[in-house]
Structure 1
Amino acid sequence: MVTSDDHWRFVGIAWRLDRLRWVPRDVLADVVMKDGECVWAFADGDPPELTGHDGIDRELAARLCARCPVQDECLELELRTAGEHTTGVWGALNERDRRALYPHWRQRGERAEPLDEDGGEEQ
């Protein structure tokens, strides 16, 4: 269940991502692969699995991404790529939070590449 506080938190995150609206997806991917903390932290193994418990998964996402300098770029890339079908931890948010964020993000307008019918960007 999304609370009023969550609603406004997601509106704020969507607004913050507006600065990345016109950055091409390939540029976002390059930035995330080059500077993403998780790319280097888990290069030799898989990151921890989500538990399915919202509070625990939120804390796990926050801890995994705490020092990452490209959280927004990562989140923007995942929303563009996976849309509502997002899984795992991206941009310091678990999948449930990203699914709740998605409609707020989508309302903010066009992106560098058009979105397809399923929510992700057309290839």
Structure 2
Amino acid sequence: MDEVQLEWMNEGHCRWYPPAAFFPSDGVGVDAARQICAECPVRAECLEYALDNRIDHGVWGGCSERERRRILKRRRQEAAAAV
């Protein structure tokens, strides 16, 4: 992936926080990360990046690992139904 495709990362609110804030070990940490993501201007790009790259850990685009798995499952089901 080239730098142009990742330019959106420069606009993320996460750049002002330590990476550990987005890789929490509990639900409280996930909620705190979601609050940071809530008003982020590149939230959608961040989520799509995590989904496209099958990132298994951390909060990306305001979604936990479990939420991203659900999104991917739903998209697979919708794609199968559309065929």
TM-score of the two chains, using structure 1 as the length reference:
0.50
Q: What are the superposed Cα offsets for residues 45-80 of structure 1, whole Å, 9 maximum, x if unpaired?
A: 333242344xx3542232121221011110001100
Unaligned residue ranges in structure 2 (runs of 5+): none
Does residue 1:41 correspond to 2:16, yes or no?
yes
Aligned to 1:88: 58
List 4+ stretches of structure 1 deviating above 6 A: none
Structure-to-structure mapping, 1:38-77, within 5 angstroms: 38=14, 40-42=15-17, 45-48=18-21, 49-53=23-27, 56-77=28-49
- Aligned equivalents of 1:64, 1:96: Cα separation in 2: 18
Amino acid at match of 1:89: V
- Aligned equivalents of 1:28, 1:97: Cα separation in 2: 24
SS where residue 93 of structure 1 aligns? coil
Return the structure number with greater helix share.
2
Preserved CA contact (<8 Å) 1:28 1:74: no
Q: Percent identity, please.
A: 34
